Amino acid sequence: MVEQLTMSIVWLQVLMIFCNGLASNGASTTNVSTRPDVVNLGAIFSFDTIIGKVAKVAIEAAVEDVNSDPSVLGGTKMIVTKQDSNYSGLLGIIEALRFMEKDTIAIIGPQNAVTAHVISHIANELQVPLVSFSVTDPTLSALQFPFFVRSTQNDLYQMAAIAEMVDYYGWREVIALYVDDDHGRNGITALTNMLAEKRCKISYKAPLVLDSNRDNITDVLVKVALTESRIIVLHAYGSWGPLVFDVAKYLGMMGTGYVWIATSWLSTLIDTASPLPSGMMDDMQGVLTLRMYTPETELKRKFVSRWSNLTSGQTSKGPIGLNAYGLYAYDTVWLLAHAINAFFDQGGNLSFSNDSRLTQLRGGDLNLDAMSIFNGGNLLMKNILQVNMTGVSGPMKFTPKKDLIHPAFEIINVIGTGIRTIGYWSNFSGLSVVRPETLYTKPPNHSSSSDKLYSVIWPGQTTQKPRGWVFPNNGRHLRIGVPKRVSFREFVSYTEGNDMFTGYSIDVFTAALNLLPYAVPYKLIPFGDGHKNPSVTELVHKIQTGEYDGAIGDIAIITNRTRMADFTQPYIESGLVVVAPVKPTLNSNPWAFLRPFNPMMWGVTAAFFLIVGTAVWILEHRHNDDFRGAPKKQFVTILWFSFSTWFFAHRENTVSTLGRLVLIVWLFVVLIINSSYTASLTSILTVQQLSSSIKGIHALLSSNAPIGYQQGSFARNYLVDELNVDESRLVPLIMPDDYAKALKAGPHKGGVAAVIDERAYIEVFLSSRCDFSVVGQEFTKTGWGFAFARDSPLAVDLSTALLKLSENGDLQRIHDKWLMRTPCASQGAKLQVDRLQLKSFWGLFVICGAACFLALAIYFCMMLHQFSKHNTEELVSTGSSRSTRVQTFLTFVDEKEEEVKSRSKRRQMERTSNRSASEDESMYNSKRRHLDQSSSV
């Protein structure tokens, strides 16, 4: 109480200072040379803690190394005055105030978050940078603390690593066991946010008092043991964290089924005080912990090799091992040295101003008026955040959020007398067994398939991954709601006298539970009044409100219900179908042979007979005598050839390559159409047909006829909300006999035109009623499943069990036991099928049409080439008009191929003969002229 009272007084005085603001008012100023001989820094931490005793050695070594290197500060000597806060937040605050009185330009520390939150306000006021190597509290990165910077990893990333581990192993709920101070609370808040991103959560928070003893810890762990989750995250301090494991082992909480994940305090303890006592190690077997990852560099190896010499005279209380905080403490001194050097290079000087507001407190015992403002604080802070160096802990560079770059953690499993690394986490690529510095050279990959960790030995010396949860040990049974059905009791039936449930859905649930590797205490509770079928959606809603833990029965998995609860794998397929009265169709119709095809199909088929016949005639006309003759004969040939291909009875041979190509494609089309026609006609003439005036859901919606539905089913809301059916058209029905009565009466006699219900019910209804049938297609796809509260592990485990039931055949045997009925006497009858339509064959017609078009295009190109070769000169010499040329071309096309070739050959011979005669006459005239010239001479 004394300490708390003193703390309150200090807080009150500090807040009075801050509320008064900041002003100079002609205050005196002390100036120091730009490059002074000495710079004074302060350091606040607890010397005798696990972190403090390592940091003390590391800071002293760093100061010595900095001062021995004149290139760092240009001859200026760094003096770091260390003050022991001795586990006390009050002493830490007081020591910070004393540093402010001595013109300190920066403070290393403090060590814990509680002190850091207070001192940060003072640092903001007096503009003195605080650089902490051990405070991991994520909230100190806020804009509220511009003069605080951490030179270690942010707990935000450690909690992200834990959340990714939880998600990797498939767990969904964890218990947070933490110290109830700023460090613990803010760290767990970060864990809550990170788990939420993975769709996980903290199911129970168990705070521990700061100075916990065995009794406090026992009380808390007993409450934890009564909860459902078995994944425990321990966020504590190394001074009393092992006591938690000791008590947990005593309570049986370090055995099979439990998972303990300790934050970095445990790895720090192991690194610092190794080897730990055997009893302490036995208490922590199978625990997972995280260690701030520092890459293996040459600087680190040299410092590690020096460590034994540095601690040689300080091992009176046991060995001092080097932990990650020691590396960060060493680098913090170098970080400040580089920042101060840059500060001086930029013209900064060590000047301090008095705060006129503080002078009003002159004469007090605390000497608060002696504190002064560091005028170069903003410039120094800017240089600290701009440092880019490589230290013993790796790269020292800050992000815009004032966190170190490349945050990474090593994941460790405590085994036997030591530890084993099972993998790494970094914000660059998530979980991996590859060291983070190797992954930085590759593109980032956060896919779940890339996550991988080595095997773990869990508490209880087992390698099998714990399930992560059990049923609470508080004696409470799960309250499972079951719809108290009135109709279709094959699925769920409730007996009032003995308070028992039977039916298909109940047997499936019981069989699935028997496959679980653990017992499930539950109690089935009827839901409904027993006079009408209850609303299943309302039952699922009661799971959301907490009245029930789950619901089983004939529960369709639909969208609005999945928003209220988690469902298992469907154990039976279902969906809405339309049931209507049907009657046999007589097959004695004389025009029954036309029924296989609808009119459009008949028309397109006939058109293609003519198209193909015409195409083959064109392609064969110049080569084949079977396709030549008088126009009347040629027209008859086209018709005969076209329709004879239906029976493959055509007598005309095709001789051209293009004609044969078209005919092959067409015969294939004819084969498919002929086979389909034969099969459809056979079915029409030999199988009894059933017909209905309702063809399906679309025909039903287009009419105004009344529609029946099962009372209490989701079908009503679906018809109204999704299909926009007027409510006045809907008629609620309860019993299967009500279905039959309403369907037989019909819409004109107070009945309904059709009933819409789920297929599972309709199959039972139709098993003994052959004058009704399903018409059209199933227009929704759903299934039945069991519902449980959000994130309940039972939903996942029962889904696995249902799949096993399906694979081993038990699900089908249960189905046959309850739902197999004697089939209708008219089993051979079937509902009249729709005629074959063009949409079923349009692909064939497109192929055939394309073949015809391609063949004709090639053919006419060949004709044009041949025509231009044999007739162009004649047409040009005679000066024929365009109409004459077209007429000549048509005549050319109509001619037989042999005649064209023969005429072309004769013309060529005539041209050759004429050319010879002309040449002879020319030679004769030349000789004659030569003789005449000779005689004249």
For the residues of 259-301, what is the DSSP string, one character each?
Answer: EEEE-HHHHHHHHHHPSPPHHHHHHTTT-EEEEE-----HHHH
| Paired tokens of 471 | 């049923």
> What pLDDT, on the 0 to 100 scale, is given for residue 326?
96
> What pLDDT, on the 0 to 100 scale, is given for residue 614?
82
**516 pLDDT exceeds 80?**
yes
**32 pLDDT exceeds 50?**
no
Could you tell me the pLDDT band of residue 497, with boundaries at 50, 70 and 90? confident
> What pLDDT, on the 0 to 100 scale, is given for residue 1?
38
Rounded Cα gap, residues 715 and 576, in angstroms: 7
Nearest alpha-carbon partner for 564 in 588, 537, 583: 537
pLDDT > 70 fraction of the chain, expressed in percent and rounded: 79
Average pLDDT of the residues in 206-210? 93
**912 pLDDT exceeds 80?**
no
If you average pLDDT over each of 259-263, 372-376, 533-537, which comes out highest? 259-263
> 878-892: per-residue pLDDT in tens?
555 666 666 666 666
764 neighbors 819 (Cβ within 8 angstroms): yes
Q: Of 15 and 783, which is predicted with more confidence?
A: 783
Rounded Cα gap, residues 82 and 76, in angstroms: 19
Average pLDDT of the residues in 254-272? 95
From 152-166, 218-232, 770-784, the region with the lowest mean pLDDT: 770-784
**Residue type for position 691:** S
Average pLDDT of the residues in 253-272? 95
If you average pLDDT over each of 201-205, 594-598, 699-703, which comes out highest? 201-205
The residue assigned the tokens 């096309």 is 893
Where do the domains of the chain lie? 38-152+320-394, 155-298+407-450, 478-574+788-797, 592-686, 690-781
Could you tell me the pLDDT band of residue 25, with boundaries at 50, 70 and 90? very low
> What pLDDT, on the 0 to 100 scale, is given for residue 793?
84
- Cα within 13 Å of Cα(421), Cβ side: 13
From 9-18, 152-161, 482-491, 619-628, the region with the lowest mean pLDDT: 9-18
End-to-end alpha carbon distance in the chain: 158
> What pLDDT, on the 0 to 100 scale, is given for residue 50?
92
152 neighbors 135 (Cβ within 8 angstroms): yes
Phi then psi for residue 432, to 5 deg, are -165, 155
Indicate the SS3 state at residue 585. strand
From 62-71, 206-215, 232-241, 904-913, the region with the lowest mean pLDDT: 904-913
**590 pLDDT exceeds 80?**
no
> What pLDDT, on the 0 to 100 scale, is given for residue 443?
75
**652 pLDDT exceeds 90?**
no
820 neighbors 680 (Cβ within 8 angstroms): no
Could you tell me the pLDDT band of residue 905, with boundaries at 50, 70 and 90? low
> 664: burial class by Cβ within 10 Å (0-12, 13-18, 19+)?
exposed
Nearest alpha-carbon partner for 719 in 576, 521, 929, 916: 576
> What pLDDT, on the 0 to 100 scale, is given for residue 5?
39
> 369-409: per-residue pLDDT in tens?
567 889 999 999 999 999 999 999 999 999 999 999 999 99
Rounded Cα gap, residues 799 and 787, in angstroms: 11
444 neighbors 430 (Cβ within 8 angstroms): no
Enumerate the H helices of 311-368 as residue ranges: 324-345, 356-359
**58 pLDDT exceeds 90?**
yes
> What pLDDT, on the 0 to 100 scale, is given for residue 12?
41
**554 pLDDT exceeds 90?**
yes
Average pLDDT of the residues in 460-479? 84
**16 pLDDT exceeds 50?**
no
**768 pLDDT exceeds 70?**
yes
> What pLDDT, on the 0 to 100 scale, is given for residue 917?
57
pLDDT > 90 fraction of the chain, expressed in percent and rounded: 49
Evaluate whether 478-574+788-797 and 690-781 have a shared fold. yes
Strand-pair partners of 233 = 176, 261
**24 pLDDT exceeds 50?**
no
**418 pLDDT exceeds 80?**
yes
Q: What is the mean pLDDT of the chain?
A: 83
From 386-390, 419-423, 575-579, 644-648, the region with the lowest mean pLDDT: 644-648
Could you tell me the pLDDT band of residue 600, with boundaries at 50, 70 and 90? confident
> 653-703: per-residue pLDDT in tens?
776 778 778 888 878 888 888 888 788 777 666 655 555 667 778 888 888
Q: Of 634 and 230, which is predicted with more confidence?
A: 230
> What pLDDT, on the 0 to 100 scale, is given for residue 9?
42
Q: How far is CA 771 from CA 744, 747, 830, in A?
A: 9, 17, 11
Angle, helix 182-197 to helix 155-168, in steps of 10 degrees = 40
> 63-99: per-residue pLDDT in tens?
999 999 988 998 899 999 999 888 777 888 888 888 8
> What pLDDT, on the 0 to 100 scale, is given for residue 64?
95
CATH fold group of domain 478-574+788-797: D-Maltodextrin-Binding Protein; domain 2 (3.40.190)
CATH value of 690-781 in 3.40.190, 1.20.120, 3.30.70, 3.90.1070: 3.40.190
Phi then psi for residue 372, to 5 deg, are -135, 165
Angle, helix 793-808 to helix 810-819, in steps of 10 degrees = 80
Q: How far is CA 616 from CA 123, 423, 622, 653, 900, in A?
A: 98, 75, 11, 11, 21
> 336-372: per-residue pLDDT in tens?
999 999 999 998 888 888 766 665 555 555 566 567 8
**449 pLDDT exceeds 50?**
yes
Indicate the SS3 state at residue 378. helix
Dihedral, CA atoms, 18, 20, 25, 29, nearest 10 degrees? Answer: -20
CATH fold group of domain 38-152+320-394: Rossmann fold (3.40.50)
Rounded Cα gap, residues 349 and 371, in angstroms: 18
Average pLDDT of the residues in 855-878? 69
> 804-834: per-residue pLDDT in tens?
999 999 999 999 999 876 656 444 445 455 5
> What pLDDT, on the 0 to 100 scale, is given for residue 26?
35
> What pLDDT, on the 0 to 100 scale, is given for residue 897?
60
Q: Which CATH superfamily is domain 155-298+407-450 in?
A: Response regulator (3.40.50.2300)
> 309-332: per-residue pLDDT in tens?
998 877 666 789 999 999 999 999
From 288-302, 346-360, 459-473, 809-823, the region with the lowest mean pLDDT: 346-360
Average pLDDT of the residues in 708-730? 91
